[in-house]
Structure 1
Amino acid sequence: MLNNCTFVGRLGKDVDMRYTPNGKAVANFSLALTRPVADKNGTRHTDFIRCQAWGKTAETMADNLYKGDTIAIQSRVQTRTYQDQSGNNRFMTEFVVEGFPQFLKVKKWENGNGNSDNYGNRNTGQNNRQQNPFDNAQPIDIEDDDLPF
């Protein structure tokens, strides 16, 4: 059996850091994943997935990552059940970050200027001017019948 997922996306909000009653660190965050193919109207939709990290990985992520940062994670999918306040069974699917370090902070592109943003180096004032290679990218018009799956 294989339960391995790799995602590259942007943090939907700052990492929510908490500790269990036993003192184990747990970080929850959402990852925004923009679909690579636009729909018939030319709109590229974004999916937000729930992610979770534990222990030292959780603490490091909470200390170094912020809303909007582009990261890559390797994870496993996990589904759990709980009862809400009304007594109804609820199901939650989330992706648990595996290993350490299994995330990578990726260079961000803003207005065509590459702002290198490494761990602990936020707001250093250094700005590496580079042209965004995707500035002139055009959407691809693909019909559902053209897809191989």
Structure 2
Amino acid sequence: MLNRIILIGRTTRDPELRYTPAGVAVTQFTLAVDRPFTSQSGEKEADFIPVVTWRQLAETCANYLRKGRLVAVEGRIQVRNYENNEGKRVYVTEVIADNVRFLESANRGSVSTNEGTSNGRGSQSNNQDPFADDGKPIDISDDDLPF
């Protein structure tokens, strides 16, 4: 049996960090994942999927994720239920993430999985193409190609 999910989407709000009575960090946020088709009226639709992270991953998400950030989430689907104040059984389906990858930097310019690291190009902005000003052909021999 297998319960594995991979999602790519944007956070709908800043993550909410809490601690259990035992001191374990837990973060909740919602991921908006576009559907691969449009509605009959031509509008894009999305699913809004609740995500839960635990321990160190929860603290990292709380510190670095913000509303609107593009992320990839790997984890498993969990369905839990509880009885609300009115005595009615409520079912909750959520993704328990064990890996969250930040797919863009805070300034939304480039793909990055390491927050706060330099791109190795001095003061050059992360939004710029590092090869844009070169204009020279790239010399690649047939021996360099893997096929």
Question: With structure 1 as the length reference, what TM-score do the two structures score?
Answer: 0.73
Q: Secondary structure at the match of 1:47?
A: strand
Partner of 1:107: 104
Partner of 2:115: 119
Partner AA of 1:115 in structure 2: G
1:128 is matched with 127
Matched-pair contact (CA < 8 Å) for 1:64–1:120: no
Q: How do 1:25-44 and structure 2 match up within 5 A?
A: 25-44=25-44
Are 2:5 and 1:5 aligned? yes
Provide closer, same or farther for how the CA distance between residues 73 and 87 of structure 1 changes in structure 2, counting only shifts above 3 A. same
Aligned to 1:84: 84
Q: Per-residue CA shift, 1:91-131, capped at 9, x if unaligned?
A: 00000002xxx2211137x9xxx61365147xx9935245x
Provide runs of 4+ in structure 1 moved above 4 Å.
none
Aligned to 2:135: none
Change in 2 beyond 3 A, CA 1:125/1:28: farther
Aligned mates of 1:26, 1:120 — CA distance in 2:
23
Residue of structure 2 equivalent to 1:50? 50
Contact 1:34 1:47 in 2 (8 A): yes
Q: CA RMSD in A?
A: 2.2
Q: Deviations over 1:7-60 (max 9, x none)?
A: 000001001000000000000000001112112221111111111000001011
One-letter amino acid of the structure 1 residue matched with residue 104 of structure 2: K
The one-letter amino acid of 2:31's match is L
Change (3 A) 1:74 1:66: same
Shift of 1:3: 0.1
Aligned residue for 1:35, secondary structure, equals strand
8 Å CA contact 1:53, 1:97 repeated in 2: yes
In the other structure, the counterpart of 1:142 is none
Structure 2 stretches lacking a partner, 5+ long: 118-122, 130-147
Cα distance in 1, alignment partners of residues 124 and 67 from structure 2: 19
Partner residue of 1:14? Answer: 14
Larger Rg: 2
**Residues 71 and 104, structure 2, Cα contact 8 Å, conserved in 1:** no
Q: TM (normalized to structure 2)?
A: 0.74
Count of aligned pairs between the two proteins? 121
Q: Provide the rounded CA distance (Å) in 1 between the counterparts of 2:86 and 2:104.
A: 45
Taking the aligned partners of 1:6 and 1:60, their CA distance within structure 2 comes to 19
